Amino acid sequence: MGMDKYFVSEIFRSIQGEGNYAGVNCLFIRFQFCNLTCSWCDTKYTWLRKSGTFKEYSKEELRKVIEDSPCHHIIFTGGEPTLYRLDELAVTGKKFHVETNSSILPWELLNINLADGSNFSRSAMDMNIIKHFNWVISPKLSNSGQSFHENKLKPWTEKEFGIFKFIITDENDLNEVSKLIEKYNMSKDRIYIGLEGTNINTQLKPELVDKIINSGFNFSPRLHVMLWGATKGK
């Protein structure tokens, strides 16, 4: 795929449901295509060319959408947004956020083939621009069914921008997180833990949240799941 093309699954206005900006009024730009296929993913329609519908935008078209939005906060999500040159979408007067699975380093050259044969190539993003983005870095634990990209996590921990968000299903996953942050000397202040699931019952687990709190991590409520479940555009 060329660097000047942006494949977008959906654009919508909602609140940020997770992480360090939970509750903030935002414009979401959800990109199509992902290099992972997590077992519990709630946006599987963004994975591949035939897994959902999407629209092609030029850089200029997508920048205009961003400029015209009344929202101050713009969230790039997916799919996997780092397949695209996000730095070239930055406009003045907006705060940009990126939700990434952490397996692609935006400041490096990219040339990758996806499961459906699609190829994505782009040049490195401009660090002087993306260091001002709020990066929500979400490494996938063993509960996702994906191989852990250990060689990609360490470079993220050496950057000062962004937070780390882990999705857990039980206490064993929490132990896995603890081992990772000890190995990479990650600050607990930057760790947010969310609960896997797509309905309100999966989010109301006070005993598990107590363990998150007692472990010294931040808890990331999944407000969109609690309010709307698995509804698209929310």
Domains and CATH numbers, the chain: 5-170 (3.20.20.70)
Residues 82 and 34: their CA atoms lie apart, in Å, by: 9
Residues in contact with 8: Cβ distance below 8 Å, sequence separation at least 6, in sequence order: 29, 30, 31, 32, 54, 55, 56, 57, 62
Say whether pLDDT at 118 is over 90. yes
Q: What percent of the chain has pLDDT over 90?
A: 90
Report the pLDDT value the prediction gives residue 149, as an integer from 0 to 100: 74
pTM for the model: 0.95
The full DSSP string for 51-104 is SS--EEEEHHHHHHHHHH-S-SEEEEESS-GGGS-GGGG--TT-EEEEEE-SSS
Average pLDDT over all residues of the chain: 94
**143-201 per-position pLDDT tens digit:** 999 877 778 899 999 999 999 999 999 999 999 999 999 999 999 999 999 999 999 99
Longest alpha-carbon distance in the chain: 48
